[in-house]
Structure 1
C-alpha cells in the first residue's frame, strides 16, 4: 500500500512538472489526468465553463497526454491557421487505431494523409465535385426527395431517413458507382452502423476507452484480431469509409435541422419562398449558381449551418513537431482540440449569436456577405475537403423542397423540440412534419 501511494505521488509530481509551460487548466491526477473536470464529455456547458475559468486557451490532460483546448473565434482561428502545418497531425489513439489503423484520410498522418487526401480531392474533382457532373447527381437525389414528400400527400412523416437516403446517395454514386433504393436492407444496415459510430465518438464510454485502453482490450466483442476487417485491408477501403462518413452524415444532419427550423420559424420559410418565387419560375431546376440570385435564401442556409453547429469540436489535431500556439510553447505530440461551436456563437463577432438570424449574413442592402467567424467547416490544413459538396447539396436540396412544399407542424403538436442529441455530431430529436404542395 505504501509503495502504491509512493508511486502515485511520484506520478502526480511528474504531471505537475510536465504541465509547466502549458496553458493553464485543471490539476491533472495520475491515470485519469484532468478530463474528469469536464465529466468525460466535451459538451457546450463544460467547455464554456472551462474557458470562463482558465481562459480561451487552456489545457486538459487525457491520462498523461496534454490536450490544448481552443475556445472562441480568435483562439480557434489563430490556433488552427498560425503554424497550421505544425498542428496538422491527427491523434493516434487506442480507439482510432482500432477503427482505422492509421489509414485513409480522416485519422491518418504524414505521407499517408497527404497522398490519400490529394488522391481523394483529385478523384472527387474528376468525378464531378464542384461542377455540373456532381450537380446533376444532387439534382437527381433532390428530385427523389421531392417525390417522397409528394407521395405522402401532406400526411405527417419523419423526414430523417429520406434525407439521409438522399444525401448519402450522392456520395454513393461517387464511391460505389450506383444509388440505393429506400427499401434496400443493406443500405439501412450501413446507415445504422454509421449512426452507432457517430454516437460513440463523443460519449462517456469513448473517453473512458481512451484513458483505460487496457480495460477495453479485455472486453468481449469484435474489436480484436479480425483478419478480414475492412479497416485493415488497405487505404482505399478506409478512404471510402471516410468519404462516406464525411460526405453524408454531417450534411444529412444539417438538412434535418434546416426543415426543423422552417417549422420553428415559419416567417423565415415564407420569406425564402417569396424570394424563390420572385427569382425562379416554378419549373426551374435548382442549380448551385442560383445562390448568387437568392441572397436571402443563401443567408438562411448559412445561418442554419451556424446555428445548428453540428460539430461541436474538431477531431483533435496533433502537433507534429515542437511549435507555438497563441504564444505558448507546445511540444510535439500535444493534442489540439478546437471548439468550433464557440466561434460560431462568439458574441464578439455575431450580433445575436443565440438567435436564429439570417441577417448575420446580409449587409444593409440585403446582399449576401461572408463572415470570418463562420468556421463551420473548420480551418487550417485539416479543413473539410467536402465543403464544396456539402454546400451544393444543402443549397440544391433545401431550395428544391421549399420551391415545392410548405412545411408545417402536424395537427396536435403544440411544442417543437429543438434540443440536441449529443454525440460526435449534434442531431435533432426525431420529429414529424407535413409537406403541403404549394
Structure 2
C-alpha cells in the first residue's frame, strides 16, 4: 500500500512538472512569436488583425488574392500591411500608389524577396536567373546581356517580326484544319507563341500536335499552378517545413519536372554546339561561359543558363498565349467589336497582305482592342513580388528595408479614378473623340520601373501580328448549342479564361 502511495505521489509530481513545462513552452513560444512579429516602426501602414503564428494569412484567399486585396483596400486604404507568419508584407493599390513606388522610387522597390521554395528547382542565392534574382550587380549584368542578345536576334526588328508572321501562317493552317468544327484554341495558340520564343532561345520549333510539346505544355501548367494556394505560401514563409521528408518533392514536383525538361533541351543543345557558329540565345550564353572565371563571377554559369532560358521561355510564352485566348473570347462575346476590327483590317490590309508593325499606326481601333484585352483580361493581377532595398517612405507611410511588396496591378488596370468603365470591355478607353489611338498612363500590364517585363517589345509584336492575322483570315463564332462562355477568369498566378470552344469560319 505504501508503495502504491509513493508511486502515486511520484506520478503526480511528474505530471505537475510536465504541465509546468508545457505552460512554460507555450508562453515562451507566444512571446517569441510576439517578438518576431512586433512592429516597432511609427507611420507603418495599417492592416487587418494579425493572429499568433499565421499572422494575417486567413484574411487572404490565395486562389484569388487580388480580389482579397481589393476588399482590404476599401477598409485600410491603398497602402496596407499583411503578415505571412513572420514575414512583413505591404500591398500597394491604385495607379498613383504603384507609380509612386515603381517609377518615382524605382530603386527603393527594385529588390526581390528570397523564395526558399525555389531552391528545390535550382534557384539559389548565387544563381537566380533574371526574373526572381536579387537586385545587384549580377542581375544587372544578366539583364543587360539578355536584352542585348535578344535585340541582336531581332527583338523589335524585322527578322523577328518575319518569324512571328511565319508562325502566324502556321497557326492559321492549324486552325483551318479544324474545318469549321468546334475546338479549344488553347493548344494551337500556345504552340504558336511558344515556337517564337523557342526558336530564339533553343533554335527549334515544335510542329503543331507534337507530343513533346504537349508534354511541355502540361509541365508548364502544372509548374505554375503548383505555386498558388495557402500551402506553397506557408512553405515559403516557414522554410523549416520544407525539411520534412517528401514535402518538396510532392508539392513542387511540377517545377522540378519542368526544369528537368529544360535540362534535356540544354544538354541536347550543348552536344551540337559549335563555337564558330551562333544559332540562338543559348549559343551566345555558352560562348560567354567559355570566357572563364571572370564571366562566372558575372553570373555566366551552367545553373544560370538553365534558369535564364527557363525564365525567358515561361515569360515569353505563358502571358502572351493567355492574352490571345482572352482576345478570341472577347471577340466571341462581342461580335460587333470583332466586325469593326475586321472592317479596319479589310480597309488597311485587305484579305491577303500580312500585317506588319508599321500598320499598327494606321489601325487605331485594332490597337485599342488589343490594349483593352490586356487591361480587362488582367493577365498578371498581382504582379511579381518586390522587396524594399532600403528604408523608404511612400505617401507618408514608412516601409523598412527587407519588406515584401505586392503591387496589385489589377487595381491599377481597373482603377475607378483612371478608367471610365473599369469593369467593362470598352476599347474606347484607348481612343480619343476622333478615333485616334491614345496611350493611357494607368496601362501597366507589364509592370513598371527597373523590373518591368523585358519581353514587352516581343509581346506587343506577337499580340498585334497574331491577333490581326487571325481576324483577317477567320470570323470566330460560338458553336451552336454552346452556353455563353464565362467572362471571368481563374487565378494560377496568371489569370486565364476558363476553357471554351470556338468555331473559326474562313473569310
Q: Is TM > 0.5 for Structure 1 vs Structure 2?
A: yes
8 Å CA contact retained: 1:104, 1:239: yes
SS in 1 for 2:177: helix
Q: Secondary structure at the match of 1:427?
A: strand
> Counterpart of 1:74?
96
1:426 is paired with a residue whose SS is strand
1:10 equivalenced with 2:79 (yes/no):
no
Q: CA deviation at 1:19?
A: 5.9
Does the CA contact (< 8 Å) of 2:195 and 2:205 recur in 1?
yes
Tell me if structure 1 keeps the 8 A contact 2:224–2:492.
yes
Tell me the CA shift for residue 42 of structure 1: 5.0
Give distance in 2, aligned partners of 1:239 and 1:341: 27
Partner of 2:382: 313
Note the residue ranges of structure 2 that are not aligned, 5 or more in a row.
1-21, 264-300
Correspondences of 1:343-382 after superposition (within 5 Å): 343-382=412-451
Q: 2:395 aligned with 1:326, yes or no?
A: yes
Q: Aligned partners of 1:144 and 1:336: how far apart in 2?
A: 41
**Per-residue deviation at 1:7?**
2.1
Whether 2:102 is the aligned partner of 1:97: answer no
8 Å CA contact 1:42–1:202 kept in 2: the answer is no
Q: How far, CA to CA, are the matches of 1:107 and 1:432 in structure 2?
A: 35
Query: Which residue in the other structure is 1:199 paired with?
Result: 225
Report SS of the residue matched to 2:492: coil
Aligned pair partner of 1:176 in 194, 202, 209? 202
- 1:219-274 Cα offsets, whole Å, 9 max, x none, are 425469x9x96789421110000000110000000000100110000000000001
User: In the alignment, what sits opposite 2:281?
Assistant: none
Q: Which residue of structure 1 lines up, in the alignment, with residue 51 of structure 2?
A: 29
| Count of residues in Structure 1 that have an aligned counterpart in Structure 2 | 436
Instruction: Give 1:336 shift.
Output: 0.9
Aligned twin of 1:135: 161
Tell me, yes or no, if structure 1 residue 433 matches structure 2 residue 458: no
Counterpart for residue 235 of structure 2: 209
Deviations 1:61-99 (A, max 9, x none): 122121110011111111212221121111112123333
In 2, the alpha carbon distance for the partners of 1:289 and 1:38 equals 45
Where 1:87 maps in the other structure, the secondary structure is coil
Tell me the distance in 1 between the aligned counterparts of 2:491 and 2:110: 26
Moved >6 Å (runs of 4+)? 228-232
The 8 Å contact of residues 200 and 424 in structure 1, kept in 2 or not, is answered as no
Matches of 1:205 and 1:422 in 2, distance apart? 16
CA distance in 2 between partners of 1:414 and 1:6 (Å):
58
SS of structure 2 residue aligned to 1:123: helix
Counterparts of residues 246-325 of structure 1 (less than 5 Å): 246-325=315-394
Determine the C-alpha separation between the residues in 2 that align with 1:320 and 1:48: 26
Contact 1:60 1:68 in 2 (8 A): yes
Q: Post-superposition shift, 1:213? A: 2.4
On the 8 A contact 2:378/2:445 being kept in 1, the answer is yes
Secondary structure, counterpart of 1:422 in structure 2: strand
Any conservation in 1 of the 2:375–2:445 contact (CA below 8 Å)? yes
Q: Secondary structure at the match of 1:97?
A: helix
| Alignment-derived partner of residue 56 in structure 1 | 78
Match of 2:191 among 151, 161, 165: 165
**CA positional deviation for 1:40:** 4.2
Distance apart, 1:137 and its partner CA: 0.9
Aligned mates of 2:42, 2:244 — CA distance in 1: 35
Gaps of 5+ in 1: none
Once residues 41 and 147 of structure 1 are traced to their aligned partners in structure 2, the CA distance between those partners, rounded to angstroms, is: 37
Structure 1 pair 82–182 and aligned structure 2 pair: CA distance change class (3 A): same
Deviation for aligned residue 1:41: 4.7
Structure 1 residue 419 corresponds to structure 2 residue 488: yes
For 1:330 and 1:54, the matched residues in 2 are separated by 16
Question: Partners of 2:398 and 2:488 in 1: how far apart?
Answer: 39
What is the SS of the residue equivalent to 1:216? helix
- Residue aligning to 2:211: 185
Question: Quick check: 1:82–1:325 contact (8 Å CA) kept in 2?
Answer: no
- Three-state SS of the structure 1 residue aligned to 2:398 is strand
